[in-house]
A and B are shown apart, each in its own frame.
Chain A
């Protein structure tokens, strides 16, 4: 078996040239070493029948780096030291996903739930009520969006500041990634990779109808180009909804009963504006985004008045960042980042006017922070890769409540507020060492320090073994931790929350064994088993504040919510998935995740989650037909509120969506789409936390018809 000519030539050239230029000779020697190191890949020519036809490969996938979120560098998802799922822009377009939450709902192992204040996503069975994405890191091109106050937006719905039109790829890392990203990546991480600046213009107009009426509309525009070496991309999207008609039977059964039977019409009307822009010049990329989302709240949480337009939420999030990345040598790359973020959340809730009630109470939370970081990557000749970096953040947080009148007999509204300035420091070291051509070992260590909540070291160990060209085995040990959010530890609005300054950080230890096998050139089968051990999980509990009557004498309105370290859990599970890419005939994936918990009464824990998304252009090439669905087993309700109701669980759910899109023949760039969400009209109820009492569950959206037109120039 002859060695590849390139390797021999490179080795020869390195020898002859070494006396002229040590630097260049070194580079050539590296090339030779690499060519020789990859020798197993340079196998003798296969018979033509065994070769893969490049026509079967997805061009868009080839254009993309496959995943960046796991090791902070471009690498193949299959070789990354984590369980990774990647959604491409083509996947998003084929299935008509309009929010991040809709896209993540289709990812095997993830499940979406909502409580009327916003969408949330759970990972492998962990989906704490009222979580607000404080355990799922959401990033845009590696820039974290989660704020430290964490009283409002989850950044998974319309409160994501960037339009979906700007998304090129969504990378999902399942399991704790604390050794890379620090505290928020407790359950997993989602990295939204923005589109490249291919010159052109894309316009879209989309509409939604449900319950026999037009309900929502969206318009978006994206432009990109290249001028004098500067690549630019800008996009903006606007969305408006009239809201839906909801019925909350539990209000009709409450005491006193709601005379209208719990029917609420159009109180969740809302609108959003999202924008994103990016400029790239040589090694420098500057980007910025701003989004605003405002909507009414139909479900009247915190014992507020039902059917009152003052019940509303508003989220604003903006960021600007500059990234300078340069390869200083073939082995050494340096990246510098600086950014500024501003996240604002406001909520208002209506109560009877004083002196009988509290009037209108408004909660206001804001987190503004500067961050700066540096990251260096060294690729040694011997298959060693070292990545070291540090990020510092300086936060200025404010949180307060205000009311029309001090209605709380225990503590006047607005008396307690938070104004805190603090810093965090996040330093990390990631090591990779290839042992031969089949095995790569990974190790990571993060030091995270929070001025208010202390510091912590988080390790990670992994091995990725490729016994054959078709098989990959991964063994992963990782940890994660999450300090309390500012809201959980310090918020005290005098009406509904009491601070708890003695909260301890949550921790998780995760063990996973994953296997992936390529089945021919058209399919990939994956399977994994995992165990996550959680300690000191933080949740909300009902307590009596200082000065309140004794429990025997207290009435329900005397109780307040406070965050506490409530649970330690051990979760074990397995996941199986299949991804298919068979020319135009069938594209998509399906997955099933089964998990068990040592405390099966844990609220919102599903023992089984499943999802699939399939599409085909087999009937006619301009026509794409797609179908996607997700399933959840029954979940326990919050015991605080389920005791008021005969049912302690919400039932299993299965929702189905379908979409057809056609590229209009003869009209280049013009496409039309028509789809249905919740095609079967299934009831999809999610449990809600205690502050929604007397509600213990909230239904998902009804059958919704979607139509749209897109034009690309």
Chain B
């Protein structure tokens, strides 16, 4: 309990939303470790790219908040022995995004909510570059992203789109699939 407390936040007057984003970041990293191909896909470091819609202020803020929370957590943890690196990746259009993705070579994408209309393009790029695409939206997992870290009220749940996760190169452990809601 104390360990989780230390990672999720201090006893300082941190607000609920701040804690919530950090918890989401920690959950995402924890889930990545269930990928039996993580070592092979990571190439020495787990790189998490936070994808936001360029020019959409709300999406940029969400991406910024998530990247900050992820960086905060990344300072304190490793994932299956690998250091965690965080970068921000703007989405303008499919071609630009694919080029950026190829250059950044992330292990995992965290896709912000405003990119719902571009899910198919992002999923296709994620497949090509073996990056596991995650989101906070259940609908976006249904639409083709691999992993959802979804909050409903006070509760968190995981949604795994198993065929998509496999296409993106992940081999997820059965223990995770027991806990998560699985789309087969």
Contact yes or no, A55 B33, CB < 8 A:
yes
Establish whether residues A54 and B13, one from each chain, have CB atoms under 8 Å apart when the complex forms.
no
Select which of B2, B155, B180 is within 8 A of A472 by beta carbon. B2
A196 at the binding interface (Cβ < 8 Å):
yes
Known A42-B72, A198-B157; judge A524-B2 contact (CB<8 A): yes
| Chain B residues within an 8 Å CB radius of A41 | 9-10, 12, 14, 72
Known: A59-B30, A65-B155. A518 touches B72 (CB 8 A): no
Cβ-based interface call for A199 (8 A): yes
- Report the bound CA distance from A57 to B15 in whole Å: 23
| Among candidates A43, A231, A440, A581, residue contacting B75 with C-beta atoms closer than 8 Å | A43
Question: Interface digits, B18-46 against A, CB 8 Å rule (1 contact, 0 not)?
Answer: 10000100110111011000000000000
Cβ contact of A63, chosen from B3, B79, B157, cutoff 8 A: B157
Q: Which residue of A lies closest to B180 (CB)?
A: A198
- Contact indicator B1/A77 (Cβ below 8 Å): yes
Cα(A628)–Cα(B12), bound, Å? 37
Determine if B2 and A516 form an interchain contact, defined as CB atoms under 8 angstroms apart. yes
Is B95's CB within 8 Å of the partner chain A?
no
With A62-B27, A198-B157 known as contacts, the answer to whether A466 contacts B3 (CB < 8 A) is: no
Whether A200 contacts B26 in the complex (CB less than 8 A), given A54-B33, A74-B16, A383-B13, comes out as no
CB of A580 to closest CB in B, whole Å: 11
User: Is A264 an interface position by the 8 A CB rule?
Assistant: no
- CB closest chain-A residue, reference B32: A54
**What's the nearest-Cβ distance from chain A to residue B15, in Å?**
5
The A220-266 residues at the B interface (CB cut-off 8 A) are 226, 231
In the complex, are the beta carbons of A51 and B30 less than 8 A apart?
Answer: no
Q: How far is the CA of A44 from the CA of B153 in the complex (A)?
A: 33
Chain B residues near A35 (CB-CB < 8 A): 18, 68
CA distance A199 to B183 in the complex (A): 9
Which A residues are in CB contact (< 8 Å) with B153? 280, 285, 325
Q: How far is the CA of A518 from the CA of B7 in the complex (A)?
A: 13
Contact in complex: A54, B10 (CB < 8 Å): no
Say yes or no: is A420 at the interface (Cβ < 8 Å to chain B).
no
Does B68 contact A5, Cβ atoms closer than 8 Å? yes
B84 to chain A, nearest CB (A): 9
- What's the Cα separation between A77 and B6 when bound, in Å? 12
Q: Is the CB of A66 within 8 A of B4?
A: yes
Q: How far is the CB of B31 from chain A (nearest CB, A)?
A: 7
Contact residues, A50-82 vs B (CB, 8 A) = 51-55, 57, 59-66, 68, 74, 76-79
- Taking a contact as CB atoms under 8 Å apart, the answer to whether A437 and B155 are in contact is no
In the assembled complex, A4 has its CB within 8 A of some CB on chain B: yes
When distances are taken between beta carbons in the complex, the residues of chain A under 8 Å from B77 are 51-54
The reply to whether A226 and B75 contact each other, CB–CB distance below 8 Å, is: no
Of the candidate stretches B97-105, B107-115, B120-128, B171-179, the one touching chain A is B171-179
Q: How far is the CA of A472 from the CA of B11 in the complex (A)?
A: 10
Chain B residue nearest to A226 in the complex (CB) = B138
Is A502 an interface position by the 8 A CB rule?
no
Choose from B3, B158, B180 the contact partner of A52 (Cβ within 8 Å).
B3
Q: How far is the CA of A231 from the CA of B157 in the complex (A)?
A: 12
B residues in contact with A579, CB < 8 Å? 1
Render A672-691 as a binary contact track against B, CB cut-off 8 A, 1 for contact. Answer: 00000000000000000000
**Chain B residue nearest in CB terms to A66:** B1
Interface size counted on chain A using CB atoms at 8 A: 77
Task: State A401–B30 Cα separation when bound (angstroms).
Answer: 59
Question: Cα distance A65–B5 when bound, in Å?
Answer: 11
Q: Which residue of A lies closest to B174 (CB)?
A: A668
The answer, yes or no, to whether A40 is at the interface (CB within 8 Å) is yes
Given known contacts A65-B154, A437-B11, A53 and B81 CB-to-CB distance under 8 angstroms: yes
Q: Main secondary structure on chain A at its contact with chain B?
A: mixed
Are A330 and B17 closer than 8 Å at their CB atoms? yes
Could you tell me if B78 and A53 are in contact, using CB atoms closer than 8 angstroms? Answer: yes
Chain B contacts for A434, CB-based, 8 A: 11-13
Number of interface residues of B (CB under 8 A): 59
Given contacts A37-B13, A438-B11, A440-B11, contact A63 B75 (CB under 8 A): no
Q: Which of A13, A55, A439 contacts B80 (CB 8 A)?
A: A55
Known interface pairs A55-B79, A437-B12. Does A63 touch B68 (Cβ–Cβ under 8 Å)? Answer: no
Q: How far is the CA of A280 from the CA of B67 in the complex (A)?
A: 30
Q: Which of A35, A46, A280 has most B Cβ within 10 Å?
A: A35
Residue numbers in B under 8 Å from A466 (CB-CB): 10-11
- Is the CB–CB distance between A4 and B72 below 8 Å? yes
A48-B83, A669-B178 are known contacts. Are A518 and B13 too (CB-CB below 8 A)?
no
Which residues of chain B are near A51, meaning CB under 8 Å?
Answer: 75-78, 83
A6-B152 in contact (CB<8A): no
Min CB gap A490→B, angstroms: 40
A210 CB to nearest B CB, Å: 31
B81 contacts A57, C-beta separation under 8 Å: no
Query: Is A63 within 8 A of B158, CB to CB?
Result: yes
Give the CA-CA distance A51 to B79 in the complex, in Å: 10
Taking a contact as CB atoms under 8 Å apart, the answer to whether A518 and B81 are in contact is no
Is B181 on the interface with A (CB-CB < 8 A)? Answer: yes
Instruction: Confirm or deny: A648 has a beta carbon within 8 angstroms of a beta carbon on chain B.
Output: no
- Whole-angstrom distance between the alpha carbons of A226 and B141 in the complex? 13
Q: B10: shortest Cβ distance to chain A, in Å?
A: 4
Which of A31, A46, A76 lies in contact with B76, CB distance below 8 A? A46
> Which residues from chain B contact A379 at a C-beta distance below 8 Å?
15-16
What residue in chain B is nearest A57 (Cβ atoms)?
Answer: B30
A74 with B11: CB separation less than 8 A: no
Q: In whole Å, how far is A54's beta carbon from the nearest beta carbon of chain B?
A: 5
Q: Would you give the shortest CB distance from A32 to chain B, in whole angstroms?
A: 11
- A4: contacting residue among B4, B68, B76, CB under 8 A: B68
Residues of A within 8 A of B182 (CB): 199-200
Cβ of B167 within 8 Å of any chain A Cβ, yes or no, is no
Known: A54-B78, A434-B13; 14 extra A-B contacts, CB below 8 A, are A31-B17, A34-B18, A44-B75, A54-B26, A54-B77, A57-B30, A63-B155, A66-B5, A76-B4, A196-B152, A231-B152, A434-B11, A437-B11, A668-B174
Q: Name A residues whose Cβ lies closer than 8 Å to a Cβ of B.
A: 4-6, 9, 13, 30-31, 34-35, 37-38, 40-46, 48, 51-55, 57, 59-66, 68, 74, 76-79, 86, 196-200, 226, 231, 280, 285, 325, 330, 379, 382-384, 434, 436-440, 464, 466, 469-470, 472, 516-518, 521, 524, 579, 581, 663, 668-669, 712
The 9 closest A-B pairs by CB, nearest first: A383-B13, A6-B68, A437-B12, A434-B13, A518-B2, A41-B10, A466-B11, A76-B5, A198-B181
**What are some 12 contacts across the A-B interface (CB < 8 A)?**
A6-B67, A9-B68, A54-B26, A55-B30, A59-B27, A59-B175, A62-B26, A198-B180, A200-B181, A226-B138, A280-B152, A280-B153
